[in-house]
């Protein structure tokens, strides 16, 4: 079984990225083969500052390695280092129905909000399909909101197979567990778009200050509270031990506490939870050539597989 997933370097990773996706990607690296890439080509639809994109791409690699991605068990590479994917994207584009792309959520949402949608955003699902199909991927872990793009990938692959004979492996989506709700510091879904994030590798003192500013309700201190519906408790649950979580839930139901007490416990638990990853990141940051070597080795392995698939596709449609 080959697993593939990519993540855009549009900003530093936050808790929502980690608990909603990255942690589960890392759990899947024990599959027979796992390919993970940093999607800098996709990021060009939003990041138009060259130096910023370059820095965010390299930071993403350091972050993923620090968080537990093991290059001995998974292939880590930068999307643009595999040019075969861009060529495959064009071959898929020649058979992609406009109506199929017009129905995709990302494009429709932008249009509905009055945001100018360029060709990159419109054809985003085709590049995503090329990313997946280039490595004969069996399983693609995605959030529920990305499931449509896997269906588009399958549609494009099936159409190609119908016209030119069996060529592509048809991937299946693995919907990521969304039970770990990750609210932002305002109680809404954590997102860079809402400017309500807690960054994983933020300075602990700066993060503590941000946590102490988390919005809370105005219920009196003595009133019992249901923990599961409180976003402060939900954040605490992500980084606390089972015992700490149980004690905090009992405190909520008992009442007679202040939110400042919970915020302090949250900041302490978060610092402990990410301490090992933070130490690994500092070590990697001090040895950037090691990170470049990992990316170069990953890109070499990815190009080898993508070249094999591209040649198969070229032969199928008469290009060679």
CATH number of the domain residue 81 falls in: 3.40.50.620
pLDDT value of residue 233:
96
H or E element at residue 287: none
Q: Is residue 32 part of a domain?
A: yes
Cα separations in angstroms, 39 against 6, 15, 44, 229, 305: 6, 19, 9, 35, 18
Active-site entry in 52, 111, 181, 189: 189
d(CA 68, CA 116): 38
CATH number of the domain residue 259 falls in: 1.10.240.10
Phi-psi region of 230 (alpha: psi -120 to 50; beta: other; left: phi over 0): beta
pLDDT at 218 over 80: yes
d(CA 319, CA 87): 12
pLDDT value of residue 113:
77
What mean pLDDT do residues 200-224 have? 92
- Count of positions (residues) in the chain: 320
Confidence of residue 239 (pLDDT cuts 50, 70, 90): very high
- Our answer to whether residue 174 is catalytic in this structure is no
pLDDT value of residue 39:
98
d(CA 9, CA 128): 15
Helices (H), the chain: 15-17, 23-27, 40-43, 50-66, 84-93, 98-102, 105-112, 119-122, 124-133, 147-164, 204-212, 231-239, 242-254, 259-273, 275-286, 288-317
Phi-psi region of 168 (alpha: psi -120 to 50; beta: other; left: phi over 0): beta
- Mean pLDDT over the full length of the chain: 94
Same domain, 135 and 269: no
pLDDT at 126 over 70: yes
Q: Is residue 194 part of a domain?
A: no
Same domain, 229 and 297: no
Q: List pLDDT tens digits, range 133-143.
A: 999 999 999 88
Domains contained in the chain, number: 2
Q: What does the buried/exposed string (b/e) look like for 160-174 if buried means 16 or more CB atoms within 10 Å of the residue's CB?
A: beeeeeebbbebebb
pLDDT at 271 over 60: yes
Active-site entry in 110, 174, 181, 210: 110
What mean pLDDT do residues 56-66 have? 98
**The tokens of 62 are what?**
């350091």
Confidence of residue 288 (pLDDT cuts 50, 70, 90): very high
- Our answer to whether residue 52 is catalytic in this structure is no
pLDDT value of residue 32:
72
Same domain, 269 and 292: no
Question: Can you give the residue range of the structural domain that contains 236?
Answer: 202-273
**The tokens of 172 are what?**
């299946």
Same domain, 19 and 107: yes
For the sheet containing 172-175, what is the strand order?
Answer: 75-78, 33-38, 2-7, 139-142, 172-175
d(CA 45, CA 118): 8
d(CA 317, CA 119): 25
Same domain, 120 and 13: yes
- Our answer to whether residue 225 is catalytic in this structure is no
pLDDT value of residue 222:
84
* Residue 115 DSSP code: P
pLDDT value of residue 105:
83
Confidence of residue 30 (pLDDT cuts 50, 70, 90): confident
Same domain, 55 and 163: yes
Confidence of residue 193 (pLDDT cuts 50, 70, 90): confident
Q: Is residue 188 part of a domain?
A: no
Q: Is 67 exposed, middle or buried (0-12, 13-18, 19+ CB in 10 A)?
A: buried
Same domain, 71 and 169: yes
Same domain, 92 and 219: no
Q: Is residue 279 part of a domain?
A: no
Higher pLDDT, 211 or 191: 211
d(CA 46, CA 142): 20
Same domain, 172 and 206: no
Q: Is residue 282 part of a domain?
A: no
d(CA 151, CA 162): 16
Same domain, 233 and 114: no
Same domain, 127 and 165: yes
Active-site entry in 52, 111, 181, 192: 192
d(CA 194, CA 189): 8
Same domain, 103 and 151: yes
| Strands 33-38, 75-78: pairing kind | parallel
pLDDT at 116 over 90: no
d(CA 7, CA 78): 10
**The tokens of 118 are what?**
């360029």
Q: Is residue 85 part of a domain?
A: yes
Query: 10 Å Cβ neighbour count for 228?
Result: 11
What mean pLDDT do residues 149-166 have? 97
Q: Is residue 124 part of a domain?
A: yes
Q: Is residue 63 part of a domain?
A: yes
Confidence of residue 180 (pLDDT cuts 50, 70, 90): low
Cut 0.85: pTM above it: yes
């Amino acid at each position: 079984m080959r697993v593939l997933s990519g993540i855009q370097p549009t900003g530093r990773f936050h808790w929502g990225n980690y608990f909603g996706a990255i942690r589960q990607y890392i759990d899947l690296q024990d599959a027979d083969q796992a390919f993970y890439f940093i999607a800098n080509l996709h990021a060009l639809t939003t990041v138009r500052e060259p130096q910023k994109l370059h820095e965010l791409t390299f930071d993403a690699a350091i972050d993923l390695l620090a968080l537990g991605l093991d290059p001995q068990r998974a292939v880590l590479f930068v999307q643009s280092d595999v040019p075969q994917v861009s060529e495959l994207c064009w071959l898929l584009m020649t058979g992609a129905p406009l109506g199929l792309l017009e129905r995709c959520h990302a494009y429709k949402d932008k249009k509905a909000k009055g945001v100018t949608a360029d060709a990159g955003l419109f054809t985003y699902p085709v590049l995503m399909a090329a990313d997946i199909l280039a490595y004969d991927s069996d399983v693609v872990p995605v959030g529920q909101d990305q499931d449509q793009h896997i269906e588009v990938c399958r549609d494009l692959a099936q159409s190609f197979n119908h016209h030119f004979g069996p060529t592509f492996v048809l991937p299946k989506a693995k919907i990521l567990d969304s039970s770990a709700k990750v609210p932002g510091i305002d109680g809404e879904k954590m997102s860079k778009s809402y400017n309500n994030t807690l960054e994983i590798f933020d300075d602990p003192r700066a993060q503590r200050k941000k946590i102490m500013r988390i919005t809370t309700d105005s219920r009196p201190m003595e009133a019992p509270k249901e923990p599961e519906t409180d976003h402060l408790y939900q954040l605490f649950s992500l980084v606390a031990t089972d015992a700490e979580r149980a004690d905090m839930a009992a405190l909520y139901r008992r009442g007679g506490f202040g939110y400042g007490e919970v915020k302090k416990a949250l900041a302490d638990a978060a610092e402990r939870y990410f301490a090992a990853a933070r130490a690994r990141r500092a070590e990697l940051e001090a040895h950037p050539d090691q990170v470049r070597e990992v990316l170069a080795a990953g890109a070499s392995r990815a190009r080898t597989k993508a070249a094999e698939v591209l040649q198969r596709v070229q032969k199928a449609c008469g290009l060679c």
